[in-house]
């Protein structure tokens, strides 16, 4: 079902400021930035070999990432797993009793379709499933 880790999401107060480390000091290649309106975030992807870091800056304080920053501060927010067929993966997980945040895929960055699993059922780790076109 899972192909690989697609990316690791990192919640930051400011993408511009965080690029000072990730792009300028660690010399990771910036793959682009994009606003994901459904999640109320601005995202920036940095390539790390086969996988990527996804910097997440909230565009609104009441977004999930905005609330996360307010309660936990900056840091690793989620791990995204690439799947071939997100509907099939969600159906399989649901049938096995895994708690889902999104029962249906929602639009993610770069035209991908994504769905989050509830961290209460995944040992405290927010997992995102990603299906790319």
Q: Which candidate, 8, 62, 60, 67, places its Cα nearest to that of 35?
A: 60
Closest CB to Zn ion among 93 and 130? 130
Q: Which of 36, 65, 80, 83 binds Zn ion (CB under 5 A)?
A: 80
Rounded to 5°, the CA angle 128-131-133 comes to: 150
CA distance 40 to 66: 9
Stretches 10-18, 23-31, 53-61, 82-90: which one binds Zn ion (CB under 5 A)?
A: 53-61
User: Under the criterion CB under 5 A, does residue 9 sit at the interface with Zn ion?
Assistant: yes
Closest CB to Zn ion among 7 and 19? 7
Q: Are 63 and 36 within 8 A, CB to CB?
A: no
Closest CB to Zn ion among 34 and 98? 34
Q: Which residue number places its CB atom closest to Zn ion?
A: 9
Neighbours of 67 (CB within 10 A): 13
Residues interacting with Zn ion, by CB under 5 A?
9, 54, 80, 128
């Amino acid at each position: 079902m899972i192909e690989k880790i697609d990316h690791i999401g990192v919640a930051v107060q400011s993408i511009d400021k965080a690029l000072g480390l990730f792009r300028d000091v660690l010399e990771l290649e910036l793959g682009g930035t994009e606003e994901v309106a459904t999640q109320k975030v601005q995202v920036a992807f940095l390539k790390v070999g086969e996988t990527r870091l996804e910097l997440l800056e909230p565009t609104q304080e009441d977004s999930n990432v905005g609330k996360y920053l307010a309660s936990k501060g900056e840091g690793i927010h989620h791990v995204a797993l690439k799947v071939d067929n997100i509907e099939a993966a969600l159906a399989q997980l649901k049938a096995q009793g895994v708690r889902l945040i999104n029962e249906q895929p929602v639009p993610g960055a770069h035209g991908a379709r994504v769905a989050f699993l509830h961290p209460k059922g995944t040992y405290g780790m927010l997992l995102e499933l990603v299906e790319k076109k």
